[in-house]
Amino acid sequence: MLSKERLRANLDEVIWNIEEARVSVSEHHIVKLVTVGKYSKVENIETLYHLGQRAFGENQVQQLEKRKEILVNLPLEWHFLGNLQKNKINKLIELRPSLMQSLNSIELALELNKKLDIKEKKLNCLMQINSSNNNNQSGINPEMAKDLYQEIIESCPNINLKGVMSIGANGVDDIEIKDSFETTYKIYESLEQDGANICSMGMSGDYKLAIKCGSNLIRVGSALFV
């Protein structure tokens, strides 16, 4: 468990970095911070809440369930970021996350929509794009992203698509990472007419660059919990 002072210093540093990067784009470019607690203890999430942070991400359904239960008295906003297995779909729906960021195939979208329909529920989602072509990340191929986004809108009325999410290339040089962010951002821009308003890119190692490439939601874990 980390001390409140330690977490405050880490959070302040991230907030200042966000501020610097976003203002370099535009004073009107607002960036949302989702803190990712997957490597961290639940006590640290509670501390971050007391420091003012409200949006938290998890990448496992079971972990999300457990933490939501423990922190039920805090008005937290939960995001799901992981690869969703078919047998966990019902559980995730019951947990009612405010945003499911990792819709990474048309099959998953159809299955999720079907289960949402049965439960008469809706879910806000982002389509995950695999914009770095040199690794085996999950996500939709950039060339197919625009068509599939529209297909999900048309065939999945219980899914509210809000935009896109992408994990930057884990290459060694910034150029490769920047390329992948630019690919995602271009797709995002082309989807604004379809109602997309969230472009989720950037993690601990690359969030400043992601913001400069147009990201308006970053997901930061390890930089906070050191």
Return residues touching ligand PLP (CB under 6 A): 36, 38, 59, 81, 167, 203-205, 219-223
**Closer Cβ to ligand PLP, 77 or 151, answer by number:** 77
Tokens of 179: 């390329």
CB 94 within 8 A of CB 61: no
Shortest CB 219 distance to ligand PLP, Å: 4
Shortest CB 226 distance to ligand PLP, Å: 10
Shortest CB 49 distance to ligand PLP, Å: 18
**Closer Cβ to ligand PLP, 100 or 152, answer by number:** 100
State the Cα–Cα distance between residues 56 and 60, nearest whole angstrom: 13
State the Cα–Cα distance between residues 10 and 226, nearest whole angstrom: 8
Question: Residue written as tokens 């007419």?
Answer: 193
**Closer Cβ to ligand PLP, 139 or 142, answer by number:** 139
Shortest CB 17 distance to ligand PLP, Å: 13
**Closer Cβ to ligand PLP, 15 or 223, answer by number:** 223
**Closer Cβ to ligand PLP, 112 or 220, answer by number:** 220
Using DSSP's 3-state secondary structure scheme, residue 3 falls into coil
* CB-nearest residue to ligand PLP: 221
CB 161 within 8 A of CB 149: yes
Tokens of 15: 């907030």
Q: For residue 207, how far is the Cα from the chain centroid?
A: 12
Backbone phi and psi for residue 196, each to the nearest 5 degrees, phi listed first: -70, 130
Shortest CB 221 distance to ligand PLP, Å: 3
